[in-house]
Amino acid sequence: MKHLLSLETLSRPDMEHILAATGPMKKERGCHAFLPLAGKFWALLFSKSSTRTRVSFEVGIRELGGQVLFLNSSEIQLGRGEPIMDTARVLGRMLDGAVIRTYAQHDVEEFAQFSAIPTVNALTDQEHPCQILTDIYTYEEKRGPIAGKRVVFVGDGGCNVPVSWMFAAAKLDFELRLATPKKFQPSPELLRRAGGKIICTEDIRGAAHGADLLYTDVWVSMGKESESAERRRELAGYQINQTLVKLAKPDALVMHCLPAYRGMEIDEATFEANAETIFDQAANRLHCQKAILHWLVS
């Protein structure tokens, strides 16, 4: 039984397989010779908001021949306290796969264990594996292999997106620099688990120097809303803007997982100057996740 629960637990060959399968999925959209989810029922079980992840999985499952149910966790008994392990044992007996967006990483792992159906992490507080696989595919689609390149993440270095970038870095041999205040830097334990070449620094300008990819994410992740004011104060300055872009390589890409908050983690002019890349990146979620789904059931 395969799952995609994190990039920490995804092997390098499996990561490379998914990345290699994304291009053909994109090319064959609308004319797939084989529908690996034909006759299958998949559920999306979400406890947090979503635009891209929800729509790309709903469309992707259908395009691969499957049927999809969207379950908002607050509208099923889970929201009234039914344990995950019981929910998983019920859904596992009725469904063929599950895509879960929630808070605790442990909850996705418990669901996978008790449901015994392929389970995908569609974002937890800890990781966002589907996003970072897509981001790497998008970088390579536009610039070639990411191995040996310098990826610079600017902003909240402790949230799900940079953590998944950390677990990809060693496996795909690129350098990762996290430009983030001390308080938002990943723990030494997390850095040890990730391995590879990861530099954490408060020096945003130094970090951006020679970047092949400048990347950012929101300052206030879902679930952290009560810290909004504090985060805006503490992360002020950790922004991708025109001045920072000048320090990167001339052909550097600027990417954002979206949603974007202009004037915070990225300025309006830089966002719009790189909108084509950023929206290609968003569109590639569909193709990469179809590659993930196919990999899971084969």
List residues with catalytic annotation.
Answer: 101, 128, 131, 217, 257, 285
* Contact letters for ligand CP, residues 253-292 (x by CB under 6 A): ----xx----------------------------------
Helix (H/G/I), strand (E/B), else coil: 136: helix
Among 8, 140, 217, 267, binds ligand NVA (CB under 6 A): 217
* Contact letters for ligand NVA, residues 221-260 (x by CB under 6 A): xx----------------------------------x---
CA gap 95, 232 in Å, rounded: 42
The footprint of ligand NVA on residues 161-190 (CB under 6 A) is 161
Residue 52 to residues 131, 156, 168, 256, 281: CA-CA distances in angstroms?
Answer: 10, 21, 21, 13, 11
51 binds ligand CP (CB under 6 A): yes
122 binds ligand NVA (CB under 6 A): no
Interaction partner, residue 270 (ligand CP, ligand NVA, none; CB < 5-8 Å by kind):
none
216 binds ligand NVA (CB under 6 A): no
Q: How many CB atoms lie within 10 A of CB 72?
A: 12
**Stretch touching ligand CP by CB under 6 A, among 27-35, 52-60, 188-196, 269-277:** 52-60
User: Residue 267 Cβ, how far from ligand CP at the closest point, in Å?
Assistant: 19
Q: Do 293 and 36 contact (CB within 8 A), yes or no? A: yes
Interaction partner, residue 164 (ligand NVA, ligand CP, none; CB < 5-8 Å by kind):
none
CA gap 214, 258 in Å, rounded: 14
User: Residue 297 Cβ, how far from ligand CP at the closest point, in Å?
Assistant: 22
User: Residue 148 Cβ, how far from ligand NVA at the closest point, in Å?
Assistant: 27
Residue type, 217: D
- Residue 215's H or E segment, with its range, is strand 213-216
Q: How many CB atoms lie within 10 A of CB 49?
A: 10
160 binds ligand NVA (CB under 6 A): yes
Nearest to 160 by CA among 176, 184, 177, 183: 184
Nearest to 286 by CA among 23, 57, 68: 57
CA gap 134, 289 in Å, rounded: 8
67 binds ligand CP (CB under 6 A): no
Residue type, 104: A
Q: Do 291 and 134 contact (CB within 8 A), yes or no? A: no
159 binds ligand NVA (CB under 6 A): yes
**Which residues of the chain form contacts with ligand NVA (CB under 6 A)?**
123, 159-161, 217-218, 221-222, 257
**Which residues of the chain form contacts with ligand CP (CB under 6 A)?**
50-54, 123, 131, 257-258
